[in-house]
Structure 1
Amino acid sequence: MPGDTRALQSEGNGVYRAPDDGVALSRVRSGEDNAGTLVQGYSEASNVSLSDELVNLMMYQRAYAANARLVQVGDELMSIANGLKR
């Protein structure tokens, strides 16, 4: 099938090579024959929202700090209980 990306062989690091087994390659102009278009100054849109990820990171950090404090308080209470026992 022409244009089938499965016909490409991965060389690693995002580099692909066309096999020499007779796969027909063709050149087309941008925007013709379903080839897509190139637009200067645009980059690939990310599917990650930076602000959402930073907010989530802050929430995880606060939850971790709260849990660490609970462990510390529990340790102090156990220390007090062991001291009363003696």
Structure 2
Amino acid sequence: MNSTREFHRTSVLSNGQVLVCGGYNGGSLNGAELYDPTTGNWSVTVSMNYARNHHTATLVSEKVLVAGGYGVSNYIMNAELYSF
């Protein structure tokens, strides 16, 4: 991983890559990375709109639905359909 994090979520995508999104590293993160298990490489991808940790992430038709969690200073009461 390019950025250390905890309380993040992972989703296995239909192409076999693994999306790691959000999390915490001294503060909530909105960044995301893709892991390619065939090469062992990590790459930074498009960030989410909101920094969040302890959220859910569910694969829905080639996109990832990210919902809830804790943000910078309070609980997040929204969801975003994340495409990368």
- Smaller-chain TM-score bracket: under 0.3
Structure number with the bigger relative contact order (C-alpha 8 A, sep ≥ 6) is 2
Task: Name the one with the larger strand percent.
Answer: 2
Task: Name the one with the larger helix percent.
Answer: 1
* TM-score between both structures, scaled by the size of structure 1: 0.19
* TM-score between both structures, scaled by the size of structure 2: 0.20
